[in-house]
Amino acid sequence: MTEIQESSKDDQIRTLMDYIVERYGFDFRDYALASVRRRVNSIMRSERLDTIPAIQERMLVDPLAFQRFVHGMSVSVTSMFRDPSFYATFRTEVVPHLATYPFIRLWIAGCSTGEEVYSIAILLYEEGLYDRSRIYATDVDVLAVKRAQEGIFPLASMKEYSANHLNSGGKESLSRYYTADRENAVFRNHLKSNIVFAQHNLVCDSSFNEFHVILCRNVLIYFNSALRERVLLLLHDSLVTFGILGLGSKESLRFSELEPCYEQIGTKEKLYRKVI
């Protein structure tokens, strides 16, 4: 594709994103452009469309097209106890701090289809903190939130997830937390009792509570620098003093204006304690 053609496509993407903001109030304009290109191309393939303007036309005639668009713009690459060392450090360094609170509020921001949510629920259960915890699991993608709320995952993934759980310091077999139903693993209802699932847009929605822990892992890497800073400020304003912020392995507070407000827990994992 020539530079002119690429520029024309980018102009069409910007026009589409402007329309999405004006029509639906969802703002994807500050997502990293390279990532947006890939997702828009994927949406065109899944919708069997040949041009970017046709996406807008599809939304005008299909009431569910916008939900599918948001789903396509969201990243759903996730797994249970992903990066086991992160959860191992959470157990040893964060759990003792959380145990000092009479009640614990946690926010999983960008929860996708829920694998991380149930990982944290299991960890808290094993550490004896689940009964006095409330987990808020949110994502911009309402379809992903609905799947997360169901708590149903492919049974074929459980071998990998069980190994991750064990390597994270898991104290019980992962199989005790779900029942097998044909090709699916259905997680037990007691893990859902203290979880609130909801749609929330980090780009344009405001803070809705004060939290002792916020995990926003592998989300910021898809934003440009200006949006990353805005979202980090939102998360900062949502944390209590000495609250814990967890980011993805490729994310960091380095070079952020908020970096002086935190101290890193350990040296390897992206876990930070708010001190200012």
Q: Any bridge partners for residue 109, and if so which?
A: 138
Range of the domain at 238: 84-274
DSSP letter string, 194-238: TEEEEE--TTT----S-EEEEEE-SSGGGB-HHHHHHHHHHHHHH
Q: pLDDT exceeding 70 applies to what percent of the chain?
A: 97
CB atoms within 10 A of CB 159: 10
pLDDT tens readout for residues 118-174: 999 999 999 999 999 999 999 999 999 999 999 999 999 999 999 999 999 999 999
Same domain, yes or no: 128 and 252: yes
> Do 149 and 120 touch, CB atoms closer than 8 A?
no
- Give the tokens for residue 29: 């304009």
> What is the pLDDT confidence band of residue 75, given thresholds at 50, 70 and 90?
low
Q: Any bridge partners for residue 244, and if so which?
A: 213, 273
- Give the tokens for residue 181: 């139903």
Examine residue 127 and state whether it is found in any structural domain, yes or no.
yes
- Give the tokens for residue 189: 């209802």
Same domain, yes or no: 177 and 261: yes
Same domain, yes or no: 94 and 52: no
Q: β-strand 262-264 against 271-274: which pairing, if any? A: antiparallel
Report whether pLDDT(2) > 80: no
> Do 125 and 90 touch, CB atoms closer than 8 A?
no
- Centroid of chain to Cα 120: 13
Examine residue 79 and state whether it is found in any structural domain, yes or no.
no
In a 3-state reduction of DSSP, which class is residue 267?
Answer: coil
Same domain, yes or no: 117 and 142: yes
Please tell me the total count of domains within the chain.
2
Q: Of 47, 73, 99, which residue sits at a domain end?
A: 73
The pLDDT assigned to 77 comes to 72
Q: pTM of the prediction?
A: 0.89
Left if phi > 0, otherwise alpha if psi is -120 to 50, otherwise beta: which for 188? beta
